Amino acid sequence: MIKEKLVQLVADAVGEKFALRTVALHIENAYNTIVGQVFVQNPNQLDFYAKPYEADVVDNYALFPVPVIQNADNAKGCRSIHDLKNTMRFYAIPVYALDSSSDVTRLPDFVFYAVRSDRAEFLNLPKMVKKVLMSLVVPFSEWGDKEDLPIPSGVADNIVALAIQTLNAETQVHSNAYKTK
């Protein structure tokens, strides 16, 4: 579904009480919550909902160019990494495996990465690699208005319902606050 159409769908459902920006913020919260929850059982499905980004390699890490939605598996919000020529194999590992005493240090033919909140840290990355291509699961706000959000229909229904519910709850809070004055 196109992002701006999703925002308009929710705005139409709640009436003209809210600006589109407010509606989009509620969709953002619903999207981030549901994407995080739905895919916790099968994180591999997140690969379909990721966007590609180039990132500069500095020392042995690359900062994420945008925020990511974290998940419980090793890849977290960074679903995959490739060198720009796609000649190396990158594997996600837990952060503790970056320790020099870890067994992965004995596998020099592979490049490993561990995801932290704002970056991917590398082990065995050749110094000649200055840029990488990352596939990141990004929040709703990082999608363009004209972009087609890759959301399955059942998940889209949940996102819309949660956004409408929170917007209606906000209406009730404001209404009750006005009545008490």
- Each residue's pLDDT tens digit, 40-50: 767 777 777 88
* pLDDT tens-digit readout, 116-134: 989 999 988 999 999 999 9
pLDDT at position 170:
76
Task: Dump pLDDT digits (tens) for 5-42.
Answer: 999 999 999 987 788 999 999 999 998 888 777 677 67
pTM: 0.81
Angle at 83 between CA 60 and CA 78, to 5 degrees: 70
Per-residue pLDDT, 168: 87
Predicted confidence (pLDDT) at residue 101 exceeds the cutoff of 90: no
On the 0-12 / 13-18 / 19+ scale of CB atoms within 10 A, 78 is buried
Residue 177's pLDDT band (cuts 50, 70, 90): very low
Q: Where are the domains of the chain?
A: 1-45+144-160, 51-137
With a CB cutoff of 8 Å and minimum separation 6, the contacts of 160 are 6, 9, 10, 13, 27, 30
The helix (run of H) or strand (run of E) holding residue 53 is strand 51-56
